[in-house]
Amino acid sequence: MIRGETIKQTHASLKKYPTIGACGLDCGLCPRFYTKGSSRCPGCAGPGFFDKHPSCSFITCCIKKRNLEACGECPEFPCGKFKDEDEYQQMKESSSYPTPKKMMPNLYSIKEQGIKNFINGQKKRITLLQTLIEYFDEGRSRNFFCKATALLDVNILEECINKATQKIKSDDIKTEETKIKARIIKEALNEVALQQGIHILQKK
């Protein structure tokens, strides 16, 4: 109990940026980060994290022992805790968990550009995701939007949102017609994704 109480008292200061996992996962682009209620995840080592999740080896080594935000800041990165990047690309993905495809690219970006620059870029993606969820989600597309915002270029995401918004306006689609709006934006995102060899298609 004492150890658990200590974690509860100090966990808020363990990590400044819970939207990026110590391992490189995009926690701020995860469906569970936007879930309402008790099942919501606060991000990596975020407020209340240890009440819901056990600590992992990445958190123990990177955050607790080395006082870092992400493994990309560590001089020993990449270490033996990581798989080959090709393995992450081939991993089976969960619909309620961030895609592992961006783990290594994220960490290398942090290593090369610094954590603050990375977080500034991630904030742009998070803002676009929030826009997608608020204006286009019909109740079934949140997982799709999370994956799209993680994998597609920020400029492409903005272009797709603008394109979909213009079509909705020109077709005089009402605000409450969320199924139609969701279909329009998903078609736009899927089109550019497939052109780049990225698969984000959601099963119907």
Averaged pLDDT, 76-88? 91
- Who's near 155: CB < 8 A, 6+ residues apart? none
Q: What is the DSSP letter of 79?
A: -
Averaged pLDDT, 149-173? 95
| SS3 label, residue 97 | coil
Domain spans in the chain, listed from the N-terminal domain onward: 2-195
- In this predicted structure, which of 8-12, 57-61, 196-200 has the lowest mean pLDDT? 8-12
Q: Report pLDDT for 13.
A: 56
What percentage of the chain exceeds 90 in pLDDT?
72
Q: Report pLDDT for 201.
A: 62
Q: By C-alpha distance, which of 150, 74, 147 is closest to 108?
A: 74
Spatial contact of 119 and 17, defined as CB atoms under 8 Å apart = yes
**Above 80 in pLDDT, residue 102?**
yes
- In this predicted structure, which of 78-87, 167-176, 192-201 has the lowest mean pLDDT? 192-201
Selected residue with higher pLDDT from 201 and 48: 48
If you search the block for the tokens 């309402």, which residue do you land on? 36
Averaged pLDDT, 180-201? 91
CA–CA gap between residue 79 and residue 67 (Å, rounded): 17
* Cα dihedral across residues 171, 174, 177, 181: positive or negative: positive
Q: What is the model's pTM? A: 0.87
Spatial contact of 48 and 42, defined as CB atoms under 8 Å apart = yes
Average pLDDT, the chain: 89
